[in-house]
A and B are shown apart, each in its own frame.
Chain A
Amino acid sequence: MTTSTHDGNPEAINVRVLRQDGPGQASYWQRHRIAYEHDMNVISVLQKIATQSRDADGQPVAPVAWDCNCLEEVCGACTMVVNGKTQQACTALVDRLLAENPAEIELRPMSKFPVLRDLMVDRARMFQALKRVKAWIPVDGYSDMGPGPRQSQSRQQLAYPLSECMTCGCCVEACPQYTKIELTRRNGETDEQFATREEEAYNRGFVGAAAISQAMLFNENPTGQMNADERVDALTAEGGIQVCGNAQNCVVVCPKEIPLTKSIARAGRAATVRSIKRWLDT
């Protein structure tokens, strides 16, 4: 099937995409065939698919919907399951994928989030998790109150990797303890009612590695530390850190190489100390 040019590169690439026309609808595979070029990534593959708008059999098809933005692996938008692994489409280089499997490239949407369409999913639950753990510095206000607290280099070096988390969702996609929550709208339910119900459901699900790590980031900040207990309490509520099963896939698949399992263990320690203190002191 795959013909090669004289320099050993294929003339065309086969791409198999798991498509879904909308939430709750059945998914189906679709094959595409696109011309090979040097230095392609999955984004440029999808761009080509959109441009030609025809499947491998030459039938006209709607372009595959997918999410992307920066194409530099700092925005976190383009996460998808490429050849079975969750990753950013922008750093999924075609040459490397073809080395793994010359026959085809397989693209699937993330499996832990509701599919909006094709490769585009709704990761609202991850942002909700940031609300749950109060992932912010509760400053008094935004007027001029001088610099922030001084911090040691070692503290900055501890915090910086955590602050690179782009909420891309790779960690939770690969997590066996993070299961999909997808609600369907009830008859006569308004947007607000549905959103509220969804939020409640998200608040009960596992928060996931990204949010746990963010909680640790803010607990490490000299100002954020003042509210450390609140964050730890959030982490020990329903769907909190206790759900973690230490499969540690999160840390392997994280594109920013954030020490997520360290954050999880630190959160575990904080929870241990907090529980004992609460038992003894209050």
Chain B
Amino acid sequence: MPAAGSILYYTLGVAGKTHPTHFEVLSFWKVARVNNPQTSFLVRHEFLLRRLHSLSGLIPVGAYMVIHLMVNASVLESAGVFQDKVYLIHSLGKLLPVVEWTFIFIPILFHGLFGLVIIKGGLPNTSQYPYQANLRYSLQRASGVVAFFFIMWHVFHMHGWIHASWWIDGVAAAWGGAQFKPYNAASTAGMALQSGLVIVGYSIGVLACVFHLANGIWTMGITWGVWTSAAAQQRASRVCTVFGVALAVVGLSAIYGMWQVGHGEGLEKARQVEDAMYASKRASGVLEDQPHKRSHPPASHTENKH
């Protein structure tokens, strides 16, 4: 498993236990070459792929994450506000999966998987050279690995990965996945975020994502040649830090907000609002009945009153 290996590896690197002198890391490229002496696709297009990787981290993945965290944080205002935004997203209807795959899932998979390839080509040495940028180099990779597996889990946990009912009902639900129901957005998300372990996992995951994005923007500026001098890089670093801290606040607020609407009185209220909104949308005819997008069992008593 590259995942466990990489995390362990980075932990060791940061903790100062690796001695690069004593082993040689074969980069992925060399492995690829051995398999295909005619230079593989990856090798021939190394530059393009690396730049696409860099770009995909910002657009769409990073941009999506910023919107995602801000939308989720809107639950702090009220469950209704958040639900409104979810309806807006779902108004894409049948296009939604296409949009999701094109602009979210595929870019994330590309960015994450190619990121693992990049990680394999490096040899962190923070114990020998504990300089700030070098620590960030290692953290960028460690946070990338954490973020990638967090996102995989998060998508499973909330959405169950794929929307086939045999999978959702038969497998995902049984493994604790697919807990989010878009027409009961806040309440289902909130309920999914009640266990301490899950909250800690989400907090670490979100912070890893935020650090990865903020630091990624900084390195991207160097990679693409936006800020070149040491002074400019210093200034950019400050801007990225402010951005990262702000985004971390937004992300953690979202988790807190969801937790709050996921239990007790908050949950009750949220459900009422969600069901009322659903009912009104149904009544006005803008929404077809999509029970799989609602929590099970649906809060049927509200519906029955009408």
**Residues of A with C-beta under 8 A to B124:** 176
A264 to B230, CA, bound (A): 11
What 1/0 mask marks residues of chain B from 206 to 228 whose CB sits below 8 Å from any chain A CB?
A: 00000000000001011111111
CB distance from A108 to the nearest CB of B (A): 6
Decide if B281 is an interface residue (CB 8 Å cutoff): no
Decide if B100 is an interface residue (CB 8 Å cutoff): no
Decide if A262 is an interface residue (CB 8 Å cutoff): yes
A126 to B136, CA, bound (A): 26
| Chain A: CB-nearest residue to B49 | A242
Decide if B229 is an interface residue (CB 8 Å cutoff): yes
A248 to B222, CA, bound (A): 11
Q: A174 touches which one: B43, B51, B125 (CB < 8 A)?
A: B125
Q: A108 touches which one: B21, B25, B233 (CB < 8 A)?
A: B21
Give the number of residues in A that approach B within 8 Å (Cβ atoms).
44
Q: Is A268 touching B223 in the complex (CB atoms < 8 A)?
A: yes
- Please judge, given known A-B contacts A177-B122, A259-B229, A262-B229, whether A240 and B47 are in contact too, CB under 8 Å: yes
Among A58-66, A131-139, A269-277, the stretch that binds chain B is A269-277
Decide if B175 is an interface residue (CB 8 Å cutoff): no
Q: Is A242 touching B137 in the complex (CB atoms < 8 A)?
A: no
Q: Is B128 touching A84 in the complex (CB atoms < 8 A)?
A: yes
Q: Is B121 touching A179 in the complex (CB atoms < 8 A)?
A: yes
**Residues of A with C-beta under 8 A to B230:** 251, 259, 261-262
Q: Is B122 touching A249 in the complex (CB atoms < 8 A)?
A: no
Q: Is A252 touching B129 in the complex (CB atoms < 8 A)?
A: yes
| Chain A: CB-nearest residue to B229 | A262
A242 to B226, CA, bound (A): 15
CB distance from A111 to the nearest CB of B (A): 4
Decide if A195 is an interface residue (CB 8 Å cutoff): no
Decide if A96 is an interface residue (CB 8 Å cutoff): no
| Chain B: CB-nearest residue to A201 | B30
What 1/0 mask marks residues of chain B from 78 to 102 whose CB sits below 8 Å from any chain A CB?
A: 0000000000000000000000000
**Residues of B with C-beta under 8 A to A111:** 20-21
A26 to B125, CA, bound (A): 22
**Residues of B with C-beta under 8 A to A259:** 229-230
**Residues of B with C-beta under 8 A to A270:** 225
- Please judge, given known A-B contacts A111-B21, A179-B121, A237-B47, whether A246 and B129 are in contact too, CB under 8 Å: no
Decide if A100 is an interface residue (CB 8 Å cutoff): no
Decide if B161 is an interface residue (CB 8 Å cutoff): no
A12 to B221, CA, bound (A): 50
Q: Is B222 touching A268 in the complex (CB atoms < 8 A)?
A: yes
CB distance from A176 to the nearest CB of B (A): 5
The 10 listed contacts between A and B (C-beta, < 8 Å) are A108-B21, A174-B125, A176-B123, A176-B124, A240-B47, A242-B223, A247-B138, A248-B131, A262-B228, A265-B227
Measured CB to CB, the residues of A under 8 A from B are 18, 81, 84-85, 108, 111, 174, 176-177, 179-180, 182, 204, 236-249, 251-253, 259, 261-262, 264-273, 275
Query: What are the 3 closest A-B residue pairs judged by CB atoms, nearest first?
Result: A269-B225, A247-B137, A248-B133
